[in-house]
Amino acid sequence: MDKSVAKCIPKLSRRQNDSWSDVETVEDVLANILSRLPVKCLIRSKAVSRLWHKLISSPYFTKLHLMRSRENVIYILYPYMDDIKELHLVDGDGVTTEVITLPGFENVSSLSMICSYNGLICFTIYPWFPHLYMSQPVEEDLEILICNPATREIRLLPRGSPAEQELGIGVAFGPGTSDYRVFRFFSSIFEKPVVSPQCEIFSSSTGTWRGIGFVQQYPMGANHVFFNGQVYWFIASSEDHSTPGSILSVDMEDNFKTIELPEEVTAHSFLIILEGFLSLVAVYDDDLIMDVWMLKDANESYWEKKCSAYIEHAVEECIDSVAGRNNEFFFITTEHYFIFNTDRTTWEQLYLQEGFGQDSPVVFTYTESLLPCS
């Protein structure tokens, strides 16, 4: 057995070692044991034997490993540094457990991380703007990549229809464990302030784009969440295009609908998943007060307020990114990192490694997996 693999597996006594071959004959038992190992060890473990290689490469094992990994959700941060493209894995205690360098992106200046789900990450090579309408059309073509940081697999999606204006993007996952769909909103004609939004969908199972024509609503860029088979974005307010006015959702059957917000919000608002509900984090009064709302009934746009709290350091700083996990969320301001507990309404400041980039950082929840990008 390879030494690097042996480190991942508990040492066996001579008597136990003699019976290890018996364990291997029971694939379910072996799969149960191996599914508790990190992806890095599993990739090395494929070299142990043909049996191990076949088992670890099987769709059954991929699903089993993902089920185990979901019990240990952590955070993934992308600091958006121009020279080195790195992903930082951070646990719930604020400890950086791993730093992953993305190869081949050294000369890419506009690589944006837009979502994370089941171990797959979506990047776009496109300069998304924080406001809705741009002064002129962006000439740079939108490129979309799906990446598994654990296996280092990267897939560049084929380009979609020609567009003068990119309006938004979102990724849905399913119905199969390895399936995903990318919703792209665009306008073929750049005309300010009138926009004729269209939508097309990329399917990982077919490897192609499918247009669904013009749509009535379109999202505010690429910020979105996927939850319970639906993608959710903010829709801009008709009075202020930098402020959310409602929520746009789409399910796996391409059914679109809008959801009302619980109250007026500011530009510093975020959609997250908290305690099994789509939730809204809204920051008010020059970033002094934060309200957390949970959507209890999407059909009736019924929200319940989870809590309100004052934000530390909010007077001097802007809110850059928020991600939720269980009853807490990771909160990034211009200069600080916090874990906020919604039950106790307490803040814990994190001190990440020196030199961690502060240029437009984003944070998402992350679950390590063996899922393929294609």
What's residue 307's pLDDT?
A: 93
Instruction: List, for the chain, all residue ranges whose pLDDT scores fall below the cut of 50.
Output: 12-14, 130-136
pLDDT digits (tens, 9 = 90+) for 237-278: 988 888 999 999 999 999 999 999 999 898 889 999 999 999
pLDDT at 134: 44
CA distance 218 to 234: 9
pLDDT of residue 128: 59
CB count in 10 Å sphere of residue 210: 13
Q: How far is CA 88 from the centre of its chain?
A: 13
For residue 215, give the amino acid letter.
Answer: V
| CA 58/CA 65 separation, integer angstroms | 11
**What per-residue confidence (pLDDT) applies to 180?**
96
Cα separations (Å) of 273 from 105, 159, 322?
30, 30, 10
With DSSP H G I counted as helix, E B as strand and the rest as coil, what are the percentages for the chain, rounded to 5? 15, 40, 45
Torsion of CA 128, 330, 363, 161, to 10 degrees: -50
| Structural domains of the chain sorted by starting position, each given as residue range(s) with its CATH number in brackets | 26-59 (no CATH), 72-129+138-366 (2.120.10.80)
Contact indicator for 216, 202 with CB cutoff of 8 Å = no
